[in-house]
Amino acid sequence: MLGQLEIGSGDAVLPLGTPKQRTILALLLARTGQFVSVDELVDEVWSQEPPASAGANVRTYAANLRRLFAAQAGGRLDLVRRGSGYVLRLVDATLDAARFTQLVRQGRAAAAQDQPEAAVHRFEEAAGLWRGRALEDVPLGWRLSAWRSSLEEQRIAAVEERAEAYLALGRLTEAVATLRTHLAAHPTREPGYATLILALYRAGDVTGALDAFVDARKALAEHLGIEPGEQLQRLHRAVLNRDPRLRQPATRPSATNAPGTARPVPHELPPDSAAFTGREAELARLRNLVRHRDAGRATVVAIHGRGGVGKSTLAVRAAHQVAAEYPDGQIYIDLHGSTPGLRPRTAHEVLDRCLRGLGLPAAEVPPDESDAAARWRTLTAGRRVLLVLDNATDPAQVLPTLPASDGCAAIVTSRRVLATLDADGHLELDGLPDGPAAELLARSARRRGTPEEMRTIAQLCEHLPLALRIAGARLAARPELAVAALAERLRDEHSRLDELGMDGYAVRGSIRVGYDGLRDSTDPADRAAYRVFSTLGLLPVPQLHPAVVAALLGEPDTARGSAMPPYAVRWGTTSPPPRWPTACCAPGGASPAARTSCLRPIFRWYRCAPRPRRWPGWTPSCPACSPPPSSRRPGRTTRRCSGCGCAANCSGRWASARTGPPNWPPRGSASWPPRASATPATRRSPPPWWAGPSCTWAAGSRPRCG
């Protein structure tokens, strides 16, 4: 892959077929051992307008590759069909791109351990694997283009690190020759110029070293319109002053550790999102908070909100907009607080990344967390560094990593409200308004439906950017799928989460992580919230009345507030969680007896609660109780729902009747709600959300599961 795409078997090279088939093979090789969906392969081959037969064509190309591997590869490549995609496995075969990455990693480890000879050997072997530009004969979509760019960046950095290892060994001629060729192809690489200047100076060519700085200044001005960075300028001044320390090799061979030079300046922010839409007010507030200065302390801003609401995207965009104000570096770290399959990073792991980002060798990172935190505060003292800590679990994970210098700032994102974090501001994110939500959907889909269709999909996606991006991607990947058809599919609450998943992105997974965190927590309040969500998953209601929560947890009504903070905190909002998480929370595999046991406290509370004087006493202020307009008698005045006074209680009573077990309540006791045959005209029909295929409502019978 590090050149033309070739598969060798013995002395022969396998015929890889048409350009489209080569693109499919390249993507499978780039993600060896990983699942690649047919949709991804279609998008990579036909990035604009795939034909109706695209999926069938991909399967044909895959079948051709399987036959080729079976006949000519000797079983060393195995292409396996798995669900709606494929996995390519290498058996006793080597991928040159993977070998290159491994050698570079080994070379860096050797350099960090002051073994320059071993480092040179690894870097030279890695360089010898390249036969041109990666995949130079393959048509590339955006995934392979990004993969190739990443590999090219590794190649560029490896050349410069090899020159540093030459420098440490005193092989100055090889260092200079390597860097001359390298900088001719990449004239804006300041680290390369720094090593070249130092190598020329140590070789006794002071004039050449000064000329190299002039070349760097000229190249940067012509290509980028900027002056050399502080590192190069300090090195230039050290050469002019004939600093004798420049002739002494550093402990770790690196031009950036030479006397008179600065440590590397990290620029680690992820790319800004091209689909970013709306959030102007939140973005302006976040920028203002980050720019706020307090003498003697760093600025800290916390963003919280439920999964998929766009916290990371907002933080990264704001960080890019203020990055110029933090010239000593921008460090981004994903803390994996809610990443499926990954454990959260420890505070020491975060400090290790921060210290290495500022140029500290891995061997010099203190093993103790408190010592590492002290070293981090020392390195950031007097500097202007921006730190973005994404996806935090709790304040304890974040506190040791915050800088202390008043020139620094930190942006922290979390699903939880980090209430105990001493932040300059806490910013809560919720779903997008209708306009920006429809615009984000249209950008992701690369087409538009009618305003009503776009608004409907936005509402069914709870206005969450993650869900909107996935819905838009579905429309983009399937041109034959009408916007109205997708809206209709999303209306089905039971399959909605299945629709909102694509290419490794899924609303279900985002929700499940937070729910599993409650289940596995040792905090009693979190466990109580877990039980609340499990029960809410069995009832088709938007929220539970606080008194019902107290009954569910076996607490007195006065103590019901204890269960509410995790209910709100875990979902990052003080309002009830969205309706769709309950589909993830319901214990669908539980037996009827277990489900009855889970719901029994709720049935008991509703049966014993004071009945309203009139049920339901329709009123516009109680939308869950409000009947369809056609069922109201002309001229009849609606009444307030005097028994419950809120939608949660009314909807909860109906839902408990819908899901109650056949033998509940016991014979001879009062039942709730009353039999439909005994319901006077003023009670009319159940709430609008009541009707559904899973229940029946027959005259003279109580609601039951269908």
pLDDT at 218 over 90: yes
| Residues 6 or more apart in contact with residue 572 via CB below 8 angstroms | 304, 305, 306, 307, 309, 414, 415, 416, 417, 428, 429
Could you give the percent of the chain with pLDDT greater than 70? 66
Tokens of 281: 């007010």
Q: Which of 394, 396, 463 is nearest to 434 (CA)?
A: 463
* Phi-psi sector, 10: left (phi>0), alpha (psi -120 to 50), beta: left
- For 173-262, CATH number out of 3.40.50.300, 3.40.250.10, 1.25.40.10, 1.10.10.10 equals 1.25.40.10
In CATH, the number for domain 1-169 is 1.10.10.10
- CATH architecture of structural domain 280-428: 3-Layer(aba) Sandwich (3.40)
Tens digit of each residue's pLDDT (9 = 90 or more) over 156-191: 999 999 999 999 988 999 999 999 999 999 999 999
List, for residues 247-299, the tens digit of each pLDDT value. Answer: 755 444 444 444 444 456 888 898 888 778 888 888 889 988 888 776 668 88
Look at residues 134, 238, 129, 229 and name the one whose alpha carbon lies nearest to residue 189. 229
- In angstroms, how far is the first alpha carbon of the chain from the final one? 57
Neighbours of 136 (CB within 10 A): 14
Contact, 672 vs 699, CB < 8 A? no
d(CA 706, CA 687): 18
So what's the pLDDT on residue 410?
Answer: 93
Do 607 and 669 touch, CB atoms closer than 8 A? yes
Instruction: Quickly state the pLDDT bin for 436 (edges 50, 70, 90).
Output: confident
Q: What is the pLDDT of residue 291?
A: 81
Closest CA to 403 of 322, 298, 330: 298
Question: Distance between CA 475 and CA 462 in Å, rounded?
Answer: 18
Question: Looking at the predicted structure, is the pLDDT value of residue 687 above 60?
Answer: no
Q: Which residues contact 485 (CB under 8 A, 6 or more apart)?
A: none
- Pick the more confident residue, 455 or 225: 225
Please spell the DSSP secondary structure of 327-383, one letter per residue: TT-EEEEE--TT-TT-PPPPHHHHHHHHHHHTT--GGGS-SSHHHHHHHHHHHHTT-
pLDDT in tens, 306-345: 888 889 989 999 999 888 888 888 999 999 887 766 788 9
**Does residue 664 register a pLDDT over 60?**
no
Out of 357-361, 525-529, 637-641, the most confident range is: 357-361
Instruction: Read off the DSSP letter of residue 99.
Output: H
Alpha carbons 655 and 324: distance in angstroms, whole number: 55
Q: Specify the pLDDT at position 26.
A: 93
Answer whether 1-169 and 173-262 agree in fold: no
Residues facing residue 535 across a β-bridge: none
**Mean pLDDT, the chain, whole residue set:** 75
Task: Provide the pLDDT for residue 60.
Answer: 93
CA-based R_g, the chain, Å: 31
Q: Quote the CA–CA distance of 170 and 176 in Å, as a whole number.
A: 11
Residue among 486, 457, 50 at smallest CA distance from 40: 50
Domain boundaries, the chain: 1-169, 173-262, 280-428, 434-509, 540-628+638-705
Residue 516 is predicted with a pLDDT of 61
- Report the C-alpha gap between 643 and 625 in whole angstroms: 12
